[in-house]
Amino acid sequence: MLAKLKAKGFEVVALHHAEAILKHDMPDALQEIEDVLIDASIDAIELIRGGGGEGELTQRLRRSFCDKDWLKHNFEIKKTVDGVEKESISHEIDHVKAFSNGTCALEIEWNNKDPFFDRDLENYKRLHADGVISVGVIVTRGQSLHSGLREIVENFAISNGVLRVEDTRAFYSPTERQVSLIEAAAQSRGSFEKGWAHVFVSDKFGEATTHWRKLEDRVHRGVGNPCPLLLIGLPRSIVVE
């Protein structure tokens, strides 16, 4: 399953019979997921560049999924007793597509706060229990990418002549607090490039953000169980350095 992605270093984990469901009931869903992700790429400068809102990689992936009719959907589940509505709960999912033998839901968690995993997994659990979705998919930063970010940023600094705080302002605007941390880290780590990479990644892509280990921790604790889940980690190889 998803052999092309695995060959490129993507982490792929299927839980609670998700592999059997996708391979036998929704092979088109697997093919479309692979078609979108196999060409995923991000230039190193996009990791550095400032700006709020959704990351450029996430935007590209979203557009690609939407082009294949994986669209945002708000599920509204109502509980009625003797004709009287007692409860109404809504679950918004960014990408949903119905196939002939089931419905697949997909969320991209490139760089959110890690509690977003709890939200996604609990949404999937409830929607599956209500018979609304067959499989829930989460795409996030894989372990090789997450653990390689400091080296990627350091290499970027060396290649682009980012050798002092003033040089970083061409890409983003560090705060006074960040400047102090960068200067201290540069001194303790022996070079500006190493110090900046350490502080930058800690601030922007820290351990409390969405990445593979945080997702694994949750599914190992049973969060989302028993919804069939497909988890995909984006590898370091998608970064163009």
17: which residues sit within 8 A by CB, 6+ positions away? 228
User: What fold is seen in the domain 3-145+204-240?
Assistant: Restriction Endonuclease (3.40.91)
At 44-90, the pLDDT tens digits run 999 998 666 678 999 999 999 999 999 999 998 777 777 777 676 77
Q: Is 87 exposed, middle or buried (0-12, 13-18, 19+ CB in 10 A)?
A: exposed
8 A C-beta contact, residue 177 and residue 184: no
| pLDDT score at 231 | 98
8 A C-beta contact, residue 106 and residue 36: no
8 A C-beta contact, residue 108 and residue 202: no
8 A C-beta contact, residue 47 and residue 160: no
Q: What is the mean pLDDT of the chain?
A: 94
Distance from C-alpha of 62 to C-alpha of 80, rounded to nearest angstrom: 35
The whole-model pTM stands at 0.93
Structural tokens at position 29:
């869903």
| pLDDT score at 55 | 85
% pLDDT > 70, the chain: 97
At 118-159, the pLDDT tens digits run 999 999 999 999 999 999 999 999 999 999 999 999 999 999
CA dihedral 212, 217, 218, 219 (to 10 degrees): 80
